[in-house]
Amino acid sequence: MRNQHFEPLRFFVFVALVACVLCSCNESKVNMHVSLDAFAELRKPYLQIDEDKVGENLRRLAFADRPLTTADRHTRTYYLEGGRPMWLSRKGADSRVDSVLAYVARVDSFGFSREGFCYSTIISDVARVQNLDFDTLPDAANSINRVYARLEYSLTKAFLRYCEGQRFGFANPYDLFNRLDVRDSDSVHVSYRSLYGVPTKLARSEFLDEAYGAIASGSEKVGAFMQASYPENPLYPEFCKMLSRTLSAAERRRVFCNIERSRWRHGDYPQLHDKYVLVNVPTQQLEAVDKDRRMTMRIALGSMKTKTPLLNGRIKRIDFNPQWIIPKSIIKTSVRHHAGDIGYFERHNYFVRERKSGKIISPAFVTADMMMSHDYHVVQRGGKGNALGRIIFRFDNDYSIYLHDTSSPAVFANRNRIVSHGCIRVERPYDLAVFMLADKDERVMEKMKYSIAVDLSNEGGEADDRPAIDKSKLLHSLNVKPTVPLFITYYTLYPNADGVMTGYDDIYGFDPVIYAKIQNFIKQ
């Protein structure tokens, strides 16, 4: 769809620019009485437009361009690969230019500069076309073939910058956050921690085909396509409104960063659900919302070295007294040095299990290499003292991240609670479990209370005075039906329980990463 709608561009300005002057999109009646004799000068060589020279100049512009955004790379690629002019035809520039300029003129509403969208260049070159103001030397900066190429390139860049930026973001969150923290490196290889797993739409080939098709279809389609690029996130207009207030430089930077976050197109947002769980990392709190009822609680999150990744999911199951399969990173730093130490394994309720057979290996025969091998798991038994606590909330994700109880509740008294290996520890796991229930069945809730309090170390209850386990009251797992949407987000500005936009500490330092990508567009 990219080229087939455009006629060859080899013509004299005597035809093309007469049409442009007589049919100016802004002054359609100004020249209606001008005779053709007045255009005799247009036959001069310096006013001749040559398809090959325009194409050569387009490729020169593309080669010299240094892309700042994905839209810039798309523009550059189109013309380097021989893409033909989309905005200019035998009639010169038409009202599609007005549509582009109308939207670009309003970018200050979200704090951006018009110059980030080639505004002055387009205005200047359109004026040159309308006034026949071209240099006489064929290779001069404002010769007709260079002006036409520059106008064409600027229009495409402005159009794609606006549409891609507003529709998908001016910064790609996958690129920003999934190459930020180094996991491991050597002289030839670097691996990174993935910190962003939210399903997010990007400008793919289908989008480009639609964009180029809109350009080919006229002014109304161009305007409609630009209008359709308005961000879908409900928070976007709220953030933009804040720019009308008197803000410090630091406050404006924070607003810009959160505006950019709200451009990323996820297709799903908390506000679209009656019931959901929200973890906005900078708040270090969890919100559980069910229509007009709201419950909040403190949480502990991943440390600076093991940040909690951003993702969406649906909570589908609650497990009680879960076993903890210890990550290899923790084994490497804290466990493997105790290989063969039976007392250490007993004190921590650890055991080693062969993955394939399920066979339990006696601690006396466990080696450090065995614990680091993918053929074995080091596991902590469920119950009192387990690192996951008594309750875990499971949802499908690629990070092995969960919401769970903790054996160290004292952490919730701290202001800074970024201490975990990535999972999210919740302050009131029982209350959250009750929230998950569609039917608040008293019998189920009693079983939940029993299951998180029972001493699982006493199998029969006959060896000492501890009561035997009542297996009829013991819950191992409970399905959440219907599943509950979970959003793990990162906004340093977010509405509080009263709907007031509130600022929060940028605990992972993500704002500067975003700002570095968008600062060239911001109006100073």
Fold classified for 265-505:
L,D-transpeptidase catalytic domain-like (2.40.440)
Give the DSSP letter of residue 494.
E
The Cα 99–Cα 158 span in angstroms is 11
Q: What is the pLDDT along the chain (524 residues), one digit of tens a residue?
A: 444 343 433 444 444 444 444 344 444 444 444 444 444 555 677 778 888 999 999 999 999 999 999 999 999 999 999 998 999 865 667 889 999 999 999 999 999 999 999 999 999 999 998 888 888 898 899 999 999 999 999 999 999 999 999 999 999 999 999 999 988 877 778 899 999 999 999 999 999 999 999 999 989 999 999 999 999 999 999 999 999 999 999 999 999 999 999 999 999 999 999 999 999 999 999 999 999 999 999 999 999 999 999 999 999 999 999 988 988 888 988 898 998 889 999 888 899 999 889 999 988 888 999 899 999 999 988 888 888 999 999 999 999 899 999 999 999 999 999 999 999 999 999 999 999 999 999 999 999 999 999 888 765 555 566 678 888 899 999 999 999 999 999 999 999 988 899 999 999 999 999 999 999 999 98
Radius of gyration of the chain (CA): 31
Closest by Cα among 119, 156, 102 to 523: 119
Helix, strand, or coil (residue 124): helix
Partner residues linked to 376 by β-bridges: 354
The Cα 74–Cα 175 span in angstroms is 17
CB 23 within 8 A of CB 91: yes
The Cα 391–Cα 297 span in angstroms is 15
Three state DSSP letters for 311-374: EEEEEEEEEECCCEECCHHHHHHHHHHHCCCHHHHHHCCEEEEECCCCCEECHHHCCHHHHHCC
CB 430 within 8 A of CB 391: yes
Closest by Cα among 401, 407, 176, 185 to 307: 401
CATH 2.40.440.10 domain position(s) in the chain:
265-505
Residue carrying structure tokens 């394939």: 356
Tokens of 26: 């802004």
Give the DSSP letter of residue 276.
E
Q: Which long-range contacts (CB under 8 A, 24 or more apart) does 281-284 make?
A: 281/308, 281/310, 281/488, 281/489, 281/490, 281/507, 281/508, 282/490, 282/491, 282/492, 282/494, 282/504, 282/505, 282/506, 282/507, 283/494, 283/504, 284/416, 284/417, 284/418, 284/507
Contacts of 247 (CB under 8 A, 6+ apart): 255
The Cα 512–Cα 504 span in angstroms is 14
Cα–Cα separations (whole angstroms), residue 363 to 346, 347, 360: 9, 12, 9
Cα–Cα separations (whole angstroms), residue 202 to 287, 329, 388: 29, 33, 36
Burial 458-467 (b: 16+ CB within 10 A, else e): eeeeeeeeee
Closest by Cα among 281, 276, 283, 319 to 435: 276
Give the DSSP letter of residue 38.
G
- Cite the DSSP H helix spans in 413-481: 429-436, 442-453
Q: Give the pLDDT score at 460.
A: 52
